[in-house]
């Protein structure tokens, strides 16, 4: 098993790409992420996922600015990386570094042991989201399948 093959394309499933989610707060957005992951794989505890995401947020907001957040955490007993992409119907307060509300979220759940892969994925995401035109194209999506295609399309 090669650990160099972890890319956004192979951790993001169409079922976990969600468009225009109605979330009234940061907490609600994180709850929704945990619910969706549990819905796809009920061996993963929704409560544990949510608690781990919240614990990570307490260390410092994962809002990276310009309306984008990359919440992430490690999960005991997980054997693969799980990605969740969602756009929000309305921006929510996320304590982001630029104090801007967030409407574009990519959550990353990694196995407890993962380290370098985890950091590599975070840097890939940060790089993609650094491109304003790319983010605008994601925000313009009206449905999940378009959102998924735009996120996984290579070359930007």
State whether residue 70 is helix, strand or coil: coil
Q: Are 110 and 145 in contact (CB under 8 A)?
A: no
Residue (of 66, 68, 89) closest to 18 by Cα position: 89
Residue (of 71, 80, 64, 79) closest to 32 by Cα position: 71
80 is catalytic: no
Q: Which residues contact 120 (CB under 8 A, 6 or more apart)?
A: 6
The secondary structure element, H or E, covering residue 27 is helix 26-40
Q: Which one from 39, 72, 80, 118 is the annotated catalytic residue?
A: 72
- As annotated, the active-site residues are 72
């Amino acid at each position: 098993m090669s650990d160099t093959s972890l890319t956004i394309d192979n951790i993001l499933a169409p079922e976990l790409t969600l468009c225009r989610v109605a979330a009234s707060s940061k907490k609600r957005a994180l709850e929704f992420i945990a619910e969706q992951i549990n819905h796809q794989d009920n061996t993963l505890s929704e409560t544990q996922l949510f608690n781990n995401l919240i614990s990570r947020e307490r260390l410092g907001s994962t809002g990276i600015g310009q309306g984008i957040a990359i919440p992430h955490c490690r999960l005991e007993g997980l054997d693969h990386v799980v990605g969740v992409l969602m756009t929000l119907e309305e921006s929510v307060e996320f304590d982001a570094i630029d104090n801007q509300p967030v409407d574009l979220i990519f959550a990353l759940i990694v196995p407890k042991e993962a380290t370098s892969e985890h950091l590599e994925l975070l840097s890939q995401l940060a790089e993609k989201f650094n491109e304003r035109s790319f983010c605008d194209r994601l925000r313009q999506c009206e449905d999940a399948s378009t959102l998924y295609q735009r996120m996984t399309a290579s070359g930007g």
